[in-house]
Amino acid sequence: MSMLSSISEFSSRSLAIRRSIRIFARGVAATANRLIAAIIAERERQANLAVLRALTDRELRDMGLMRSQIGAGLAQAAKDRSCAQNQPTRRP
């Protein structure tokens, strides 16, 4: 009987260890995903900033922007996009 109980105890410990490793790996993957998303978002912001800064004042005015509003406008757009991405999508 003691042999069966030690095998049972070992397998339950093994299962708990595997479960803990799986949870830890998911956390690491989620953190890596957030880091990569932040890097991509920053690169995208830099690219948009470069494009907007290359426009003439007339082109910016046609879009309803002034040169002084470029940075704040991109920050607001990034905030809106982040909020939209964090909301769950509804499927019909």
Please give the pLDDT value at position 51: 92
Whether pLDDT at 75 is above 90: no
Q: What is the pTM of this model?
A: 0.61
Please give the pLDDT value at position 47: 92
Mean local confidence (pLDDT), 8-19: 78
Give the residue from 28, 32, 51 showing the smallest Cα distance to 40: 32
Q: What is the pLDDT of residues 18-68, one digit of tens each?
A: 999 999 999 999 999 999 998 998 899 899 899 999 999 999 899 888 888
CA–CA distance, 74 with 80 (Å, rounded to integer) = 10
- Which residues are within 8 A (CB) of 85 and not within 5 positions of it... i.e. 6 or more apart? none
CA–CA distance, 66 with 44 (Å, rounded to integer) = 21
In this prediction, residue 83 has a pLDDT band, given cuts at 50, 70 and 90, of confident
The DSSP code sequence of 20-71 is: HHHHHHHHHHHHHHHHHHHHHHHHHHHHHHHHHHHS-HHHHHHTT--GGGHH
